[in-house]
């Protein structure tokens, strides 16, 4: 196994991800927790020093333990990790001046020395890399040679081949270093890894960790039917069986058949203990008369917590709360909390239960990215229909029903949405689309059907492509598809006589209407 010592880079998890992609098990340990003794106990086959925001010249800035250099295992230092290595081993780092600071794309030129770790690099001359540094190495440590330079980093790639210490100024783990993965692959090979670790092994390890953390205590888990909470629930179930109780809250704002499908899937297929909390009357009652988006969100968020707490209290001996927090959620809450950004929407989801519940958290997906969670889901035997599901927001149909929420409008919306999704599936487009739904608009329009006048609701279809939900493009359906779907909705759904297609991207729009 490999060890990543984290000095606080925003992209440390990407290093872990690259290692996993190369079939290598690794753990990330914050530098504060790594001592000579803990390092020896961990017994890594290779060590990676991550980047970080600090400057090695600052008194008290982060350092790896001395033992790291004495274990005789390969080390790869990245950015701050390079600087700290040079500094510790007798080189010199200089503060950045404007002229030498580099942020963004840069090109590294090879030196005449050859290095095994660079196999597959420089085939077309220069190599594009991603830099993000103010300071830079000014003098290399004894034993190190230079293998690549960039305009702002004369020591872009350095290595001491005798000791297998490698230190680079750029970030090979990010997407903008296109050949970065080759560096990792070569480094890991050189460290003697066979690359045979898989998500199946991750699952085994996650299960062992859950067992160790939870012992014989009871765990509760909010299940929404989304990928993250489903995978969390299944993993826990495999780890601790009946010590897990899931709570599924029906807030009256779910899509057609959603509650039935989720409940059936988890109780019949998996025999998971599940409390079905039908609180739709409560939610819809409190939402009556509300038409402001933020007010709706706040009400739903608050009720969800109350309800969850109420059911959690009935589960005897519950000491742990399992949540499907993913790595991007961790990063977002760390880097944006207290930041200057404005609140566009008060997001809420099952993963956002408050700490004051007095339960300890179990978050087995904390290190993973969404696509890795999907792979893990497959590993756990979760059917594709669940794994590939579009995201569904915590506040549900409330935010797809601009204006006042009524039971009548929700019923119409459910039907229209079901027809729309059915069309998308029939045309084989579901997996190409990040998210698709119908919103019912707070206007009624005049139409003519048969020989009669209609005065019914208008609706908007929405479908977007996106990588992470932060930005999005509308999906370019064919006119045939749009026409056919509009006709089906109007014919099959009583209460709708006009259909529009929303072609706003994000920004300036958001994915949901509210």
Cite the annotated binding site by residue number: 224-230
Contacts with ligand XMP, 61-100, as mask; x by CB under 6 A: ----------------------------------------
Restricted to residues 308-367, the positions that interact with ligand XMP (CB under 6 A) are 345, 347-349
| Distance in Å, CB of 343 to ligand XMP, minimum | 11
The yes-or-no answer on residue 173 being catalytic is yes
For residue 297, the minimal CB distance to ligand XMP (Å) is 6
Pick between residue 93 and residue 441 the one whose CB is nearest to ligand XMP: 441
Please check whether residue 357 is in contact with residue 309, taking contact to mean a CB–CB distance below 8 angstroms. Answer: yes
What is the enclosing helix (H) or strand (E) of 239? helix 227-240
Q: What's the number of CA atoms in the CB half-sphere (13 Å) around residue 188?
A: 26
Nearest CA to 141 out of 92, 184, 178, 195 is that of 92
Cβ closest to ligand XMP, residue 77 vs residue 394: 394
Helix %, strand %, coil % for the chain, to 5?
40, 25, 40
Count of beta carbons in the 10 Å neighbourhood of residue 119: 15
Range 432-451, binding ligand XMP (CB under 6 A): 435
Burial class, 359, CB count within 10 angstroms (exposed 0-12 / middle 13-18 / buried 19+): buried
Beta bridge partners of 102: 133
Place of tokens 């988006």: 293
Q: Which of residues 361-420 bind ligand XMP (CB under 6 A)?
A: 391, 393-395
Q: Which parts are annotated binding residues for ATP?
A: 224-230
Minimum gap (Å) between residue 513 Cβ and ligand XMP: 8
Query: Least distance (Å) from ligand XMP to the CB of residue 127?
Result: 36
Region 262-301 residues binding ligand XMP, contact defined as CB under 6 A: none
Beta strand 92-94 with 136-139: parallel, antiparallel or unpaired? antiparallel
3-state secondary structure of 461: strand
Name the strand (E) or helix (H) holding 247: strand 244-250
Of the candidates 7, 1, 16, the one whose C-alpha atom is nearest the C-alpha of residue 184 is 16
Closest approach of ligand XMP to the CB of residue 407, in Å: 22
Q: Does 512 bind ligand XMP (CB under 6 A)?
A: yes
User: Which residue among 173, 279, 372, 514 is the active-site one?
Assistant: 173
Q: How far is CA 98 from the centre of its chain?
A: 34
Q: Which residues pair with 104 in a beta bridge?
A: 131
**Can 171 be counted among the known catalytic residues?**
yes
State which residue, 14 or 436, has the beta carbon closest to ligand XMP: 436
Helix (H) or strand (E) holding 155: strand 153-160
Q: Smaller CB distance to ligand XMP: residue 250 or 435?
A: 435
Q: How far is the CB of 444 from ligand XMP (least distance, A)?
A: 25
Identity of the residue, 180 or 395, whose beta carbon is nearer to ligand XMP in the bound complex: 395
Known catalytic residue: 401?
A: no
Q: Is 174 helix (H, G, I), strand (E, B) or coil?
A: coil
- With contacts defined by CB under 6 A, name the span among 14-22, 212-220, 310-318, 505-513 that binds ligand XMP: 505-513
- The one catalytic residue in 87, 136, 171, 237 is 171
- Comparing C-alpha atoms, which of 380, 327, 320 is closest to residue 353? 320
Spatial distance between the Cα atoms of 322 and 357, rounded to a whole number of angstroms: 12
Q: Does 238 bind ligand XMP (CB under 6 A)?
A: no
Helices (H), 324-388: 327-336, 370-379, 384-387
Residue nearest to ligand XMP (CB): 349
Nearer residue to ligand XMP within complex by CB, 169 or 349 = 349
510 makes contact with ligand XMP (CB under 6 A):
yes
Candidates 12-20, 70-78, 264-272, 503-511; binding stretch for ligand XMP (CB under 6 A): 503-511
Q: Which residues are catalytic?
A: 79, 171, 173
Q: What residue ranges bind ligand XMP (CB under 6 A)?
A: 345, 347-349, 391, 393-395, 435, 469, 506, 510-512
């Amino acid at each position: 196994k490999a060890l990543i010592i984290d000095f606080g880079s925003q992209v440390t998890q990407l290093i872990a991800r690259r290692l996993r992609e190369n079939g290598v098990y690794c753990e990330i340990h914050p530098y504060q927790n790594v001592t000579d003794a803990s390092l020896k106990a961990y017994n890594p086959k290779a060590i990676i020093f991550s980047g970080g925001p600090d400057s090695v010249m600052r008194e008290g800035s982060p350092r790896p333990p001395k033992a790291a250099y004495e274990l005789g295992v390969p080390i790869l230092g990245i950015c701050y990790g390079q600087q700290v290595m040079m500094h510790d081993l007798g080189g010199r780092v200089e503060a950045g001046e404007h002229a030498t600071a580099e942020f963004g794309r840069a090109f590294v030129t090879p030196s005449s020395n050859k290095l095994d770790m660079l196999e597959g690099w420089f085939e077309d001359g220069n190599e594009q890399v991603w830099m993000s540094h103010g300071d830079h190495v000014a003098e290399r440590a004894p034993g190190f040679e230079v293998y690549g330079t960039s305009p702002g980093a004369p020591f872009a790639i350095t290595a001491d081949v005798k000791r297998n210490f490698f230190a680079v100024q750029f970030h090979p783990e990010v997407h903008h270093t296109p050949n970065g993965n080759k560096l990792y692959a070569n480094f890991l090979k050189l460290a003697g890894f066979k690359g045979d670790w898989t998500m199946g092994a991750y699952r085994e390890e996650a299960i062992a960790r859950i067992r160790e953390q939870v012992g014989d205590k009871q765990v509760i888990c909010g299940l929404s039917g989304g990928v993250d909470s489903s995978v969390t629930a299944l993993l826990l179930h495999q780890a601790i069986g009946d010590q897990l109780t899931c709570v599924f809250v029906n807030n009256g704002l779910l899509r057609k058949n959603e509650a039935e499908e989720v409940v059936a899937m988890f109780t019949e297929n998996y025999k998971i203990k599940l409390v079905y909390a039908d609180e739709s009357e409560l939610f819809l009652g409190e939402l009556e008369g509300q038409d402001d988006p933020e007010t709706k969100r706040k009400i739903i968020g608050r009720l969800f917590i109350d309800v969850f707490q109420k059911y959690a209290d009935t589960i005897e001996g519950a000491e742990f709360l399992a949540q499907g927090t993913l790595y991007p959620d961790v990063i977002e809450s760390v880097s944006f909390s207290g930041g200057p950004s404005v609140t566009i929407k008060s997001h809420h989801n099952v993963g956002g239960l408050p700490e004051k519940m007095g339960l300890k958290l179990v978050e087995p997906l904390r290190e993973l990215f969404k696509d890795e969670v999907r792979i893990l889901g497959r590993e756990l035997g979760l059917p594709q229909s669940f794994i590939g599901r579009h995201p569904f927001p915590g506040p549900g149909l409330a935010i797809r029903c601009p204006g006042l929420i009524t039971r009548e409008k929700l019923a119409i919306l459910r039907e229209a949405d079901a027809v729309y999704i059915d069309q998308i599936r029939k045309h084989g487009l579901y997996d190409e689309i990040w998210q698709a739904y119908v919103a019912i608009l707070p206007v009624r329009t005049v139409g003519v059907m048969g020989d009669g006048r209609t005065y019914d609701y208008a609706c908007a279809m929405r479908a977007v492509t996106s990588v992470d939900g932060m930005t999005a493009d509308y999906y370019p359906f064919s006119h045939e598809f749009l026409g056919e779907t509009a006709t089906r909705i109007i014919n099959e759904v009583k209460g709708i006589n006009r259909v529009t297609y929303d072609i706003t991207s994000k920004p300036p729009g958001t994915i949901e209407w509210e």
